[in-house]
């Protein structure tokens, strides 16, 4: 009886693991420091790596999310890209879009800014369509367009 | 002879597998007591290498017969970080590749030649000790929080019109010809005040929105487009000194703005040094102080919604005399900072009342400066409002520059 229970539990756990796509959970990712910067690493057997941006301090992963406006295969790995400033410390959050189906990085984009002094900072404007993402950062006027297919 | 070369080649190849890893460098053992810092040499590739472009995360091939040279800069997650020179030009991105690819793919015969050509290696000059960052001191000083400088400008617009006449190519804007003489003599300081007015007109003309407000992105871009390089540097120092420290700076006591300017200068030197370390091709444009101050979020006065426009608007009268004095003294080689070495590495300060996230300041070392024998009032340990640091980014110092990707026009 005990053996059967163990087998059933093992089977269920296996099904749970197989049911999800690797990369869609926080634990599937890590950030490590190299000599030339910090890297976001997807913990595959053959790791996928991309350099992340920091404006000061050590970056860290905050969350892995899926946007309902995007096809299922894309996740956003949100990371905190450090903080900087003299009279107001601003913390930068960025999002790396990852294509789980193709298993590749798509783009690293500004996601959110936070002022420690609670000042209102213009936020990056994200616009989704079926085939692309447009992100405009009012702080520097830069607009980036990412084709999804 | 061929046998000797082959033997040497083999010894070196084997030696490579005994890498000595440090936290920041990758070394190759050259002889019993000599290790070569591989981050300092570029080695020809003689076999196609698969590598990940770290900016895109995409795998690429450094394919033969294209001329590639690589330099191993460090290690992360079992991969080597490499810089790549493709047909004589440094690729802008760092690549990652497996140690095996490096071992198999580079031309070891060339390595021997390069190493033997480096007298400095034999003298031990290339071998660096990687210093640990010291612990921060704890400060309990009484701080008086202050926001961006509010003083030294009139809040009432004068009737000055924004007529900007572009100077003939190669010429300075009016008054800025005084920048050609360094150190700045007292007799030229009046001209530099005129220069600042010319600069304000130059960078703002035609850069207002429908409500008459200055367009931040356009003004910042105009600082590159319309100013001579010497004027860009001068404007960067004066605007930043004023925006960050005007309230506590006077012609008689310019030290507070000098500290701000010193941090700008140190960052520029570090950024430039890091650029040189990358062995960028001749002709690549240097970083300047404007790149440093316009790098997003670093000097808070330039943030969207802060008071930068009040200092740059030609319709608002600002007394820049204290800043010109600070600039003149800061750029004068006779100026004495104490402690000198620490002050040559100061890159960061922040107000007492803010706390950097992730506590980057804790990695820096506090410094309590004086200039020309005068203690700076801004130091929080003396009841001032600033915490001042060096070595914020460890021994490699701080050279983060991003403005080229944002405000500097293509």
* pLDDT at res. A105: 96
Return all residues near B164 (Cβ < 8 A) that are at least 6 apart: B201, B202, B204, B205, B206
- Residue A65 main-chain phi, psi, to 5 deg: -130, 160
For residue A25, is the peptide bond before it cis, meaning its omega torsion is within 30 degrees of 0? no
Residue burial B331-341, b: 16+ Cβ < 10 Å; e: rest: beeeeebbeee
Which residue has 């970080």 as its token pair?
Answer: B81
In this structure, are residues B278 and B82 in contact, taking their beta carbons and an 8 Å threshold?
no
Select the residue of B76, B93, B299 nearest A39 (Cβ to Cβ). Answer: B76
User: What distance in Å separates the CA atoms of residue B356 and residue B139, rounded to the nearest whole number?
Assistant: 15
Continuous segment of H or E residues that includes residue B29: strand B26-31
User: What distance in Å separates the CA atoms of residue B142 and residue B383, rounded to the nearest whole number?
Assistant: 5
* pLDDT at res. A13: 64
| The residue count for chain B | 410
Continuous segment of H or E residues that includes residue B242: helix B229-245
Select the residue of B76, B148, B356 nearest A34 (Cβ to Cβ). Answer: B76
Least Cα distance to B138 among B390, B380, B391 occurs for B380
Higher pLDDT among residues A8 and B30, named by residue: A8
Select the residue of B94, B354, B400 nearest A116 (Cβ to Cβ). Answer: B354
- Residues of chain B contacting A33 with CB distance shorter than 8 Å: 76
User: What distance in Å separates the CA atoms of residue A32 and residue A38, rounded to the nearest whole number?
Assistant: 6
| The residue count for chain A | 149
Select the residue of B77, B146, B297 nearest A47 (Cβ to Cβ). Answer: B77
User: What distance in Å separates the CA atoms of residue A145 and residue A136, rounded to the nearest whole number?
Assistant: 9
Percent of chain A beyond pLDDT 70?
93
B354 with A88: Cβ contact below 8 A = yes
Residue B174: DSSP 8-state: T
Task: Tally A–B CB contacts below 8 A.
Answer: 149
Select the highest-mean-pLDDT range: A44-58, A71-85, B76-90, B132-146.
A71-85
Select the residue of A34, A104, A122 nearest B57 (Cβ to Cβ). Answer: A104
Q: CB contact, 8 Å: B402 with chain A?
A: yes
Mean pLDDT across A136-148: 92
User: What distance in Å separates the CA atoms of residue B129 and residue B368, rounded to the nearest whole number?
Assistant: 26
Number of H helices, E strands in chain B: 14, 16
* pLDDT at res. B128: 33
Q: CB contact, 8 Å: B147 with chain A?
A: yes
B96 with A49: Cβ contact below 8 A = yes
**Chain A residues touching chain B at CB-CB below 8 Å:** 32-37, 39, 41, 47-51, 55-58, 60, 80, 82-92, 104-105, 113, 116-117, 119-122, 138-142
Inform me whether the pLDDT recorded for A118 exceeds 70: yes
Least Cα distance to B217 among B225, B207, B202, B226 occurs for B207
- Residues of chain B contacting A120 with CB distance shorter than 8 Å: 305
Structure tokens at B238: 């004066």
Nearest chain B residue (CA) to A49: B57
Q: Three-state DSSP class for A21?
A: coil
A50 with B359: Cβ contact below 8 A = no
State the smallest CA–CA distance between residue A98 and chain B in angstroms: 10
Select the residue of A34, A120, A142 nearest B74 (Cβ to Cβ). Answer: A34
Percent of chain A beyond pLDDT 90?
62
Least Cα distance to B162 among B207, B200, B212, B201 occurs for B201
Nearest chain B residue (CA) to A58: B358
User: What distance in Å separates the CA atoms of residue B219 and residue B74, rounded to the nearest whole number?
Assistant: 40
In this structure, are residues A52 and A96 in contact, taking their beta carbons and an 8 Å threshold?
yes
* pLDDT at res. A97: 96
Select the residue of B56, B299, B360 nearest A57 (Cβ to Cβ). Answer: B360
Q: CB contact, 8 Å: B244 with chain A?
A: yes
State the smallest CA–CA distance between residue A34 and chain B in angstroms: 5
- Cα–Cα distances (Å) from B137 to A86, B20, B340, in that order, read 19, 33, 19
* pLDDT at res. B141: 36
Low-confidence stretches of chain B (pLDDT < 70) are 1-38, 40, 111-112, 114-169, 275-285, 357-363, 378-384, 391-406, 410
* pLDDT at res. B160: 39
Q: CB contact, 8 Å: B352 with chain A?
A: no
- Residue B247: HSE in the Cβ half-sphere, 13 Å Cα cutoff: 12
Inform me whether the pLDDT recorded for A14 exceeds 70: no
* pLDDT at res. A58: 84
Structure tokens at A13: 């756990």
Q: CB contact, 8 Å: B362 with chain A?
A: no
Number of H helices, E strands in chain A: 1, 10
A49 with B58: Cβ contact below 8 A = no
* pLDDT at res. A120: 92
- Cα–Cα distances (Å) from B193 to B173, B186, B187, B325, B401, in that order, read 12, 12, 12, 10, 29
Q: CB contact, 8 Å: B210 with chain A?
A: no
């Amino acid at each position: 009886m005990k053996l059967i229970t163990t087998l059933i539990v093992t089977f269920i756990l296996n099904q749970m693991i197989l049911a999800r796509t690797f990369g869609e959970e926080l634990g599937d990712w890590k950030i490590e420091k190299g000599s030339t910067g910090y890297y976001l690493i997807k913990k595959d057997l053959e790791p996928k790596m991309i350099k992340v941006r920091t404006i000061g301090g050590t970056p860290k992963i905050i969350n892995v999310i899926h946007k309902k406006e995007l096809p299922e295969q894309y996740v956003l790995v949100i990371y905190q890209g450090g903080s900087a400033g003299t009279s107001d410390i601003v913390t930068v959050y960025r999002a790396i879009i990852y294509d789980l189906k193709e298993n590749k990085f798509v783009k690293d984009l500004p996601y959110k800014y936070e002022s420690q002094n609670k000042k209102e900072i213009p936020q990056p404007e994200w616009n989704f369509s079926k085939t692309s993402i447009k992100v405009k950062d009012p702080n520097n006027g830069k607009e980036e367009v990412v084709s999804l297919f | 002879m061929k046998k000797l070369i082959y033997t040497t080649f083999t010894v070196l190849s084997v030696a490579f597998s005994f890498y000595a890893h440090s936290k920041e460098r990758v070394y190759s053992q050259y002889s019993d007591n000599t290790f070569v810092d591989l981050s300092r040499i570029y080695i020809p590739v003689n076999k196609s290498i698969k590598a990940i472009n770290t900016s895109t995360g995409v795998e690429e091939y450094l394919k033969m017969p294209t001329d590639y040279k690589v330099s191993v800069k460090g290690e992360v997650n079992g991969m080597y970080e490499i810089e790549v020179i493709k047909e004589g030009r440094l690729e802008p991105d760092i690549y990652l590749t497996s140690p095996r690819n490096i071992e198999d793919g580079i031309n070891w015969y060339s390595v021997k030649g390069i190493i033997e050509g480096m007298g400095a290696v034999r003298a031990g000059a290339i071998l660096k000790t990687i210093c640990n960052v010291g612990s921060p001191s704890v400060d309990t000083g009484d701080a008086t929080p202050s926001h961006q400088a509010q003083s030294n400008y009139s809040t009432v617009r004068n009737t000055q019109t924004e007529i900007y006449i572009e100077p003939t190519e190669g010429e300075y804007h009016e008054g800025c010809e005084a920048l050609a003489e360094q150190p700045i003599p007292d007799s030229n300081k009046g001209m530099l005040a005129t220069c600042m007015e010319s600069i304000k007109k130059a960078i703002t003309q035609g850069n207002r929105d429908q409500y008459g407000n200055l367009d931040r992105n356009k003004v910042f871009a105009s600082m590159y487009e319309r100013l001579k390089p010497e004027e860009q540097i001068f404007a960067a120092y004066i605007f930043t000194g004023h925006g960050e420290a005007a309230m506590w700076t006077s012609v008689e006591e310019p030290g507070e703005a000098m500290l701000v300017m010193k941090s700008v200068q140190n960052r520029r030197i570090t950024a430039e040094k890091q650029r040189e370390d990358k062995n960028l091709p001749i002709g690549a444009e240097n970083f300047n102080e404007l790149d440093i101050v316009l790098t997003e979020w670093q000097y808070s006065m330039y943030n969207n919604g802060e008071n930068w426009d009040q200092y740059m608007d030609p319709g608002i009268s600002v007394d820049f005399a204290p800043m010109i004095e600070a600039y003149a003294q800061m750029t004068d080689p006779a100026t004495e900072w104490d402690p000198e070495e620490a002050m040559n590495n100061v890159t960061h300060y922040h107000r007492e009342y803010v706390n950097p996230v992730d506590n980057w300041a804790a990695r820096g070392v506090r410094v309590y400066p004086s200039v020309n024998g005068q203690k700076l009032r801004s130091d929080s340990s003396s009841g001032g409002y600033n915490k001042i640091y060096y070595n914020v980014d460890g021994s490699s110092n701080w050279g983060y520059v991003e403005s080229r990707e944002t405000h500097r026009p293509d």
